[in-house]
Structures are given as C-alpha cells and as structure tokens.
C-alpha cells in the first residue's frame, strides 16, 4: 500500500513539475512517435469525424476535429509562391493586406538552372513563406512532362526529360517540408495539356508510363519524401486519376510505398465508390469548374462526405477504407498543423529576394549572340559605354507577370520589371516604347487588341528605334488565356499580339536588336536569322528585372540550358507528328502515339534537328572538353564503371558549364531512344581553369521498362556514353559492354 501511495505522490509531483500530465493523450504528446499519435487519435474518432477529415469544408481548408483539438488543414497554391488568400467559399480573393509574397521564378526556370542547389534554396525560401502564412500544404511542385509546346501549364513544370525533372524536384520538396509544410506533387499523372483537362482519357503504353511520365513522381515520393500527391483531373485508361486503381493503389501506394495523402485536384473527384476504394484520401474543390463558379452543393454533398458515410453505414464499402484514409490524414496533420517543432518562417525577406534573383540569374538561357557585322562583337553582354540611347520595347518589359497563368498567380509585395532592372543599370540612357499590347490577364478569355492600336504602337516603337543605338525587345507570352495559362492550351505556336511583325520592323531599322522572350514554352521563330541576340527569359518573378539586367549587362555569365527542345515547326514535335488523336485527342480520348519518344528522344532518334535542342545554352565564355575516359570496357550486370572528362574554360570570363551524360543502348530487343540523359553536373570555371567531372554509371542507368515482363531490365551488350554540352552538341563518346 505504502509503495502505491509513494508512486501516486511521485506521479503527482512529476505532473506538477510542468511535464506532461498523466492524462495527456498520446496524440497530443509531441514526444510520442507520429505513428503512435496517429493510432491513438484514430481510436478516439467517431465515424462521422473520420469522414469529415476526408473532404473540404472550405475552398482551401479541410476539416479538423474541434472536439479533440485536431486543427483543420490549410492548403494553398502554388509552386512559385504562396497565393493570396481566397474567400472561404468562392474563388474570389479576399483582398487582405497581409498576404503579399515573393514571386519566385517559374519552375521551368528552376529546371533550366540544372542546379539542384538552386532547387534546395527555392524549397527553403518558399517553405519559409508558406509556414509564415500559416499553410499546411503547398500545392506544388508540378512535374508533368513537357509533351507539346501548346500545353498551357508547361511553365509550371520542369521540362521534357524525366531524369532532369526527377533530380530538380527532390531538393525543393525536402526543403519545403523541413518547414513543417507538406508539398503536393502534381498533377499525378499524364496531365500534359489543359484542353479538356477535366475529363480527357489518356492512353499511353506501360513503357511511356514508366519511362517518361512517372519517374519524376516516383523520385518526388521515394527520394523527396513528399507528404501529399495531387491527383490529376484527366483520366488514365478509363479511370479518373483522382481515384485510379492502377496509379494510386498499385503503383503509388503499393509499389512505391507512399505513406502520405492523395488529394484531388480541385474538382477532380467524380465517384464515391471509386474514391472510397481506389486510393483517394482527401477530396477538395468539387462541384466547381476549377476557378470561376460554384454549384449550390454544400461540402456535405461531396463524394467523400455524406454519400461516403452512407455507403460505410450500409456496408457497401469496408470501414477499413476510411481508417486507411484517416491514418494518412492524421499522419499529415502531425507532420504539419500539429508539428510544434516547425519554424515560424518569414516573408518577402532580402534572403528570399536574393534566392529569386539567383535562380533567375542561373536559369536564363542565352540562345543566340552573333555579331551584327562580320568584324563586330556580339551585342551581349551590353557594353553601355558604346551606347547613348538604349530603347527598351515591349509589353513584357512592364507587365506584372506574377499575375495570370491560373492558380499559380501571385500577389507580390515587390516586383522588379525588366524595364525597372534595365533603368537601374543604365539610368536615363534607357527610353521605353510599348511596341505591342497583350491585354489584361483574364481567366478563360482573351482581350483582343484593335489592329489600329497594334499598328500605332508598332510605328511608335519603330520610329524610336531608328534613333536608338541599341534596342531590347522584351516580348513572349503573357499568361493570358491561350498564352501560357491554366485552363486552356495555346492555339498558335507563334508569338501573339503582332510581335513577329514588330520584331521584323524593329530589326529593319536597327540591326542592334536584342530579343528577350519571357515564356514557359517554345515558340515559332520566323525571324530567327535576322535577330542577332536572343535570350530565353522564362517567368522570373519578383526579381526578374534584376536577373535580366544581371545577365544582359554581364554581371552574370549566362549558364542556363533548355529543359525542353524548341522544334523548328510544330509538326516536328512528336505529339504533333501523328493525327489529332495524338494531340489533343477527340475530346473524349487521347493516345500518346509517340510512346517513349518524347522531346529530344524523338528529334535525335528520328534525326529531325530541333531549332534549339534540349540541354542547349550559350555562355559569355567558352568551354573545351577533353576526351572522355572510362574505367573499364566491360561492366558486370551488378557492377559500375566511371566516366571522367576534363572541362576547361577557354574564354576570358568565369562561367558555369552543365556537363551532360547521355546513355545509348546500341542493341536492344525493344525500341530505345538514341540516347537518354542519365547524369549531369554544373561546374564553375574561372578563365583558363580546368576541372575533371566524373560520373558513375550504374545498372539502373542502362535499364528500360520491359513491358513484356513488367519490370526494368538492362540487356547485355554494347552501350554508348555521350558527353554533351547539349543533347546534340556531343563533345565525346565512349563505349563499353554490359556483361
Ligand atoms: C487548379 C489546379 C491545381 C491547383 C488547384 C487549386 O485547378 O489544377 O494545380 O493547385 O486547382 O487551385
């Protein structure tokens, strides 16, 4: 008896000493392992509370359990920054004054850096802004493969190559989640266009699925540790991706071991039974057409709300389905909303602006930089001492490109436009002419510009160009509907709003023309031979004007390389090389007829030269590659070998070079692309400096997905290693035999 009394007193003493009281439930005890907290919380929930956790109860909020002190989860766009607050129950902005954020460069720009360090910096900064804004889930990154230059949302993704996208998404994910904010890797999967996005039924082979469209998602889950994955709107092989047995249960949760939450794209759920049994965990945004209208349905009418509860109570779906969902949802809650270890974050800091600027600096791609005259120097970097009048032209020189584009749009605190950046650098040498007008960013519609306005703006710019020493035209697309925007694909491959005519007219009166394209896609370039200097500038975010000035002015040596190919004409593109079933489909179904030959895999294998190839980008210096040296001429099936190559900066300024390693299977029982990117390394070299880059080739680098046996295999035989400065600029090769 005495001992029991002593124990009771000791326990009481301990409790009063401020540590956890004996009756503190495990799920509320931070010191407990998450899985123990999950199981404890699960056991305390009623069926109704469990179902409530599985769907939205606000436009961007899913329910918690007030009775148990489990908070709601806050979900927020997007991949390039934390979106402004949206009203509780409609798509309007709530116009708060405390939700302006940093607009980071679009993910195509991040991919174009080919620098995983930039990805880590990006994730850390955007994660700090998300946790500061009280968000539990950040709806990004997008890693859908760039299959056609007409896809309205390519600017949100990481290009045409699954390996590049796989490498570049992982650090972003890891660093965001270190802030106690989950990512939501999207849109899983095969969401490669916006036209008919909410229902188009995609058919692609197992090889295309596993070799092209899934790898970046697999890396995001298995290497990045993503805590949520967003199902895509479209269908795959007849089933909506948001409740797709193959994609969610078999591959994502089964093969890959994903332990997080599958959330719909907003409005991506279409069936209660499928949602119950095919791997969906949280339903958001139903009964809306995506962004503009809301039906009269309430949140309790969601597929995973009352209809689901009814099926559970009637035994039409196993109770185990809701416990499986809620286990994942609670795991997410304890990783985020109820994670008391997470930092407080920060917003619009100098550090974040510096990250945005650095990513822009490293992602800008120099496409062309020829001397205007045979004996002259290239126009870039700009030598301001040579010019008195620098004319900047273009709507995109002043346009706030953080707006538009759909759900990834942002309200910014600061936004340095290209004109601002160039004026900061060149002062009153800079004059400005609008040159062309793009109309306001309006979701789902395009504001036409009267021809009279087009003509007068062009004539005004041409007149000023005649008097200028240098002309910098900042054009491109503009994140309007049909112009790099969610909800619609581009309808033309060319530049809009009379830009082609403007380019020709400006060049005719002043050959010293620098063209800066701000786009998330390849565009047609009928004027290519006439324009001496061309820069692919991406959507650069809050510090875009500074990044452009850094590169155009030479403070930064351009080092970005294209994450996707620029075709000479649209029909050269594999998705457009077949019939309309290959793109955009017949509004019901679509067949990816190019199969595994996406991007450079098509151009190089079919020997169709791209206008600018995957992995291409110029510098203000030059690099010389030595002869590649491999460590062996034969490789065991479970062995490795290394390839080393010396790279030297043979120019006069420091620069970074992206050394790319492609692998070609010289003899395979199935079709394989001529070569596939399997390694890359970005190195800084001072003038005259030489470094040796070494890659380790593993069996995984040699494998293809053999759909005859349903697994990855590497067939013995001869392989060729290509060391390239781009997918076509091959500086050396080496061959070996796989035993
Ligand atoms: C949109 C987009 C998705 C976004 C979500 C919430 O329709 O497809 O990327 O995160 O809905 O806005």
Per-residue model confidence as pLDDT tens digits over 141-199: 999 999 999 999 999 999 999 999 999 999 999 999 999 999 999 999 999 999 999 99
Q: Are residues 293 and 268 in the same domain?
A: yes
Same domain as 412, residue 315: no
In the predicted structure, residue 55 carries a pLDDT above the cut 90:
yes
Annotated catalytic residue within 99, 161, 201, 265 = 265
Which helix (H) or strand (E) segment holds residue 262: the answer is: strand 261-263
pLDDT of the residue at 23: 82
pLDDT band at residue 298 using 50, 70 and 90 as cut-offs: confident
707 noted as active-site residue: no
Q: In the prediction, which pLDDT does 233 show?
A: 98
- Residue-level pLDDT at 7: 45
**343-356 in b/e burial notation, b at 16+ Cβ within 10 A?**
eebebeeeebbebb
Q: Whose CA is nearest to atom 8 of ligand 1?
A: 265
Q: How many residues does the chain have?
A: 739
Cα separations in angstroms, 633 against 602, 626, 721: 28, 19, 12
Query: Does the pLDDT of residue 290 top 90, yes or no?
Result: no
Question: What are 689-735's pLDDT values in tens digits?
Answer: 999 999 999 999 999 999 999 999 999 999 999 999 999 999 999 99
- pLDDT at residue 15, as a whole number: 40
- The four Cα atoms 313, 317, 320, 323 give a dihedral, to 10 degrees, of -60
pLDDT of residue 21: 59
698-704 — which CB contacts under 8 Å span 24+ positions? 698/640, 699/635, 699/637, 699/638, 699/639, 699/640, 699/738, 701/663, 702/663, 702/665, 702/738, 704/207, 704/211, 704/665, 704/668, 704/670, 704/672
Q: How high is the mean pLDDT of the chain?
A: 95
Does residue 11 have a pLDDT over 50?
A: no
- Residue 642: closest CA among 710, 697, 723: 697
Expressed in angstroms and rounded, the spacing between residue 266 Cα and the centre of ligand 1 is 6
Within a domain: 652: yes
The pLDDT, as a whole number, for residue 22 is 63
Q: Which backbone phi and psi does 682 adopt, to 5 degrees?
A: -105, 120
Q: What integer is the mean pLDDT of 377-396? A: 97
Q: Let me know whether 592 and 602 are in one domain.
A: yes
- Give 231 Cα–ligand 1 centroid separation in angstroms: 10
The reply to whether 631 and 690 lie within a common domain is yes
pLDDT of 17 over the 50 cut: no
Percent of the chain with pLDDT over 90: 92
Shared domain check, 596 and 508: no
pLDDT tens digits, 439-456? 877 777 778 889 999 999
pLDDT at 296: 72
Task: State in Å, rounded, how far the first CA of the chain is from the last one.
Answer: 75
pLDDT beyond 80 at 291: no
**CATH code at 125?**
3.20.20.300
pLDDT at 435 over 70: yes
Please indicate, yes or no, if residue 358 is contained in any of the structural domains: no
Cβ atoms within 10 A of the Cβ of 308, count? 25
534 belongs to a structural domain: yes
Per-residue pLDDT at 449: 87
Residues 522 and 499 in one domain: yes
CA dihedral (193, 196, 201, 206) in degrees, to 10, reads 0
Using 50, 70 and 90 to split pLDDT, how confident is the model at 6?
A: very low
Give 48's DSSP letter: H
Into how many domains does the chain fold? 4
Atom of ligand 1 nearest to the CA of 142: 9
The closest residue, in CA terms, to atom 4 on ligand 1 is 407
Residue 346 lies in a domain: no
**Average of per-residue pLDDT across 630-658:** 98
Both 290 and 370 in one domain: the answer is no
CB 397 within 8 A of CB 438: no
pLDDT above 70 covers a percentage of the chain that reads: 96
Cα distance between residue 165 and residue 158, in whole Å: 5
Dihedral angle of Cα 485, 487, 493, 498, to the nearest 10 degrees: -60
Asked whether residue 330 falls in the same domain as residue 406, the answer is no
Q: Is 580 found in the same domain as 456?
A: no
Kindly state whether residue 647 falls inside one of the protein's structural domains: yes
More confident residue, 1 or 356: 356
Please give the structure tokens belonging to residue 507.
Answer: 């060049």
Å from CA of 61 to ligand 1 middle: 14
The domain in which residue 582 lies consists of: 566-614
Given pLDDT bands bounded at 50, 70 and 90, which one contains residue 289?
low
CA distance 682 to 689: 14
- Tell me the three-class secondary structure of 114-131, residue by residue: CCHHHHHHHHHHHHHHHH
- Give ligand 1 pocket residues (Cβ under 6 A): 77-78, 139, 186, 265-266, 290, 407
* Mutational test site, ligand 1, from 406, 444, 488, 489, max ligand atoms within 8 Å of CB: 406
State the closest ligand 1 atom to the C-alpha of 78, by its place in the atom list counted from 1: 10
CA of 407 to the centre of ligand 1 (A): 6
Q: Indicate whether 559 and 651 sit together in one domain.
A: no
Pair (388, 326) in one structural domain: no
Pocket test for ligand 1, best of 60, 76, 130, 139 (most atoms within 8 A of CB): 139
Lowest mean pLDDT among 89-98, 616-625, 654-663: 89-98
Please state the φ and ψ torsions of residue 55, each to the nearest 5 degrees. -155, 165
Burial group, residue 48, by CB count within 10 angstroms (0-12, 13-18, 19+): exposed
- Average pLDDT of span 562-580: 98
Judged on CB neighbours under 10 Å (0-12, 13-18, 19+), 388 is exposed
If one counts every other C-beta atom within 10 angstroms of the C-beta of residue 202, the result is 24
Contacts of 404 (CB under 8 A, 6+ apart): 441, 478, 479, 480, 485
d(CA 198, CA 234): 5
Which residues contact residue 82 at a Cβ distance below 8 angstroms, ignoring those fewer than 6 apart? 76, 99, 101, 126, 129, 130, 133, 135, 138, 410
Instruction: Over range 531-541, report the average pLDDT.
Output: 98
pLDDT tens digits, 225-270? 999 999 999 999 999 999 999 999 999 999 999 999 999 999 999 9
Residue 4 lies in a domain: no
Q: What is the pLDDT of residues 493-523, one digit of tens each?
A: 999 999 999 999 999 999 999 999 999 999 9
User: Would residue 359 count as lying in a domain?
Assistant: no
Give strand pairing partners of 622.
Answer: none
**Scanning the structure block, which residue is given the tokens 């909020």?**
61
- Predicted pLDDT at 439: 80
At 708, which CATH number?
A: 2.60.40.10
Mean pLDDT of 386-394: 98
Mean pLDDT within 458-462: 98
Ligand 1 midpoint to CA 187 (Å)? 9
**Residue 125 and residue 140 in one domain:** yes
Confidence label for 1 from pLDDT (cuts 50, 70 and 90): very low
Residue carrying the six token digits 């993910």:
107
Query: Do residues 303 and 283 lie in contact, with contact meaning Cβ atoms separated by under 8 Å?
Result: yes
Element (H, E) at 455: helix 451-467
Are 353 and 421 in contact by the 8 Å Cβ rule? The answer is no
Ligand 1 pocket test, candidate residues 62, 75, 77, most atoms within 8 A of CB: 77
Q: How far is the CA of 309 from the centre of ligand 1 (A)?
A: 26
3-state SS class at 675: coil
Residue 38 lies in a domain: no
């Amino acid at each position: 008896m005495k001992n029991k009394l002593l124990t009771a007193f000791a326990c009481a003493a301990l409790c009063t000493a401020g540590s956890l009281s004996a009756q503190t439930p495990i799920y509320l005890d931070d010191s407990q392992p998450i899985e123990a907290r999950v199981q404890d919380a699960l056991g305390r929930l009623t069926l109704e509370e469990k179902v409530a956790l599985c769907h939205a109860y606000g436009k961007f909020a899913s329910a918690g359990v007030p009775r148990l002190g489990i908070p709601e989860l806050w979900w927020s766009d997007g991949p390039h920054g934390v979106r402004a607050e949206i009203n509780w129950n409609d798509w309007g902005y709530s116009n708060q004054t405390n939700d302006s954020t940093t607009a980071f460069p679009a993910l195509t720009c991040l991919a174009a850096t080919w620098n995983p360090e930039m990805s880590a910096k990006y994730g850390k900064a955007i994660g700090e802004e998300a946790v500061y804004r009280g968000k539990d889930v950040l709806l990004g990154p997008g890693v859908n493969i760039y299959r056609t230059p007409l896809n309205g949302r390519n600017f949100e993704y990481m290009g045409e190559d699954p390996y590049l996208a796989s490498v570049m998404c992982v650090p972003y994910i890891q660093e965001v989640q270190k802030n106690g904010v989950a990512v939501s890797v999207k849109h899983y999967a095969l969401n490669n266009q916006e036209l008919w996005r909410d229902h188009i039924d995609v058919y692609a082979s197992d090889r295309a699925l596993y070799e092209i469209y899934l790898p970046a998602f697999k890396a995001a889950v298995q290497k990045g540790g993503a805590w949520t994955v967003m199902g895509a709107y479209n269908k795959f092989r007849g089933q909506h991706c948001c409740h797709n047995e193959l994609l969610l249960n078999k591959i994502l949760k089964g093969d890959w071991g994903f332990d997080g939450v599958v959330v719909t794209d907003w409005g991506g759920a279409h069936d209660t039974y499928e949602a119950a049994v095919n791997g969906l965990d949280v339903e958001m945004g139903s009964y809306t057409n995506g962004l503009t209208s809301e039906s009269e349905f309430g949140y309790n009418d969601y597929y995973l709300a009352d209809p689901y509860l009814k099926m559970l109570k009637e035994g039409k779906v196993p109770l185990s389905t809701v416990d499986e969902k809620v286990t994942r949802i609670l795991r997410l809650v304890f990783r985020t909303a109820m994670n008391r270890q997470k930092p407080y974050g920060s917003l619009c800091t100098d550090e974040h602006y510096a990250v945005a600027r650095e990513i822009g600096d490293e992602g800008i791609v120099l496409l062309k930089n020829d001397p205007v005259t045979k004996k002259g120097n290239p126009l870039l970097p700009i030598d301001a001492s040579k010019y008195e009048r620098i004319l900047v032209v273009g709507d995109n020189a002043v346009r706030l490109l953080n707006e538009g584009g759909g759900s990834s749009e942002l309200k910014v605190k600061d936004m340095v436009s290209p004109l601002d950046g160039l004026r900061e650098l060149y002062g009153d040498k800079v004059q400005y002419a609008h040159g062309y007008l793009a109309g306001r960013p309006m979701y789902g519609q395009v504001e036409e510009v009267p021809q009279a306005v087009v003509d007068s703006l062009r004539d005004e710019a041409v007149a000023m160009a005649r008097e200028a020493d240098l002309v910098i035209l900042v054009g491109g697309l503009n994140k309007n509907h049909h112009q790099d925007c969610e909800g619609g694909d581009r309808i033309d491959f060319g530049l809009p709003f009379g830009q082609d005519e403007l380019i020709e007219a400006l060049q005719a009166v002043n050959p010293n023309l620098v063209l800066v394209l701000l786009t998330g896609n390849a565009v047609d370039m009928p004027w290519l031979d006439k324009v001496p200097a061309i820069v692919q500038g991406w959507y650069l975010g809050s510090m875009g004007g500074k990044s452009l000035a850094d590169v155009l002015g030479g403070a930064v040596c351009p080092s970005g390389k294209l994450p996707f190919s620029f075709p000479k004409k649209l029909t050269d593109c594999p998705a457009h090389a077949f019939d309309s079933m290959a793109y955009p489909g017949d509004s019901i179904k679509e067949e990816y007829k190019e199969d595994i030959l996406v991007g450079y895999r098509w151009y190089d294998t079919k020997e169709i030269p791209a206008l600018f190839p995957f992995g291409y980008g110029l510098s203000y210096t030059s690099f010389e590659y030595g002869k590649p040296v491999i460590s062996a001429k034969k490789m065991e099936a479970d062995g490795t070998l290394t390839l080393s190559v010396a790279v030297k900066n043979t120019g006069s300024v420091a620069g970074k070079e992206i050394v790319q390693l492609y692998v070609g299977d010289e003899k395979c029982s199935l079709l394989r692309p001529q070569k596939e990117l399997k390694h890359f390394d970005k190195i800084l070299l001072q003038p005259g400096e030489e470094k040796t880059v070494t890659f380790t080739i593993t069996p995984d680098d040699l494998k293809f997905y053999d759909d005859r046996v349903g697994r990855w295999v590497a067939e013995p035989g001869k392989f060729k290693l290509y060391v390239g400065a781009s997918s076509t600029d091959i500086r050396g090769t080496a061959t070996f035999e796989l035993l």
